[in-house]
Structure 1
Amino acid sequence: MSTSTSDTIFLVISLIDFVGAFISIGISLHLAYTKMDVMLNHLQNCPAVMIRAPFRNGGPWGNMFLLGAIMGVMTTPRLYLRDGGACAEDLKNFPAGLRRKLVILQWTGWGLLLVMFGLAAVAEFELV
């Protein structure tokens, strides 16, 4: 059995996407367990984050849920400032390097998910 070039390309892209998702989850867990105190201390006046703060004691899933809320606030601050879910002073005082990491991690996750959906669509159309 020989594979065509398109099958090989599909496989390589799938493997890169899958490994990228695992790396992204690993980085997220690392940030959730090592930098959560710093993030919560800087976002004490943000109701969108503090209402989810008790999930921190919920193990890896709770930490990821809380980190997702923080990444959402960092990625789309205007949305949270408009409805009162974030405090402008807290966002201004948040460490710039950590904010950059969170935003990059958020967009990387969305990109990997988009690639996965694209690969699923290609696989579905290929079978027809």
Structure 2
Amino acid sequence: MEKLSIKDVYFLVLNYYENKITNPMLNSQKGEMSFVLYDSFTFKLSVEERYGVFGAGLIIDSNQVLLEVLGEPLAINNDKDSIVNTLIKMENYCRLRLPNKFLEAYDRVYNKK
């Protein structure tokens, strides 16, 4: 399986989340990206340059990052399928934490087709 670079991950995230993501920021030099999902939760993803290790975390504050949610690690491997599974976990976690009224309003505003 081919390992993804942080730029590959960045574009994968943008394509996967589309209008659910705001404020995506890429720092290629550090191998990191961050973004806000559902206007509510900030996540950081990384790819370590030397070995290509993928990392993912939910930012709580400047000193706290959750690497696991609901008893499962966010990041497993650096391949497209594993990273998509990480994105699914992140979205499911957000949707569980946000009230239905908010999700309905959010979907109504951002999912106009």
Query: Under a length normalisation based on structure 2, what TM-score does the superposition of the two structures give?
Result: 0.30
If asked which structure has higher relative contact order (CA below 8 Å, sep 6+), I would say 1
Q: Which has the higher strand share?
A: 2
Query: Under a length normalisation based on structure 1, what TM-score does the superposition of the two structures give?
Result: 0.27
Q: Which has the higher helix share?
A: 1
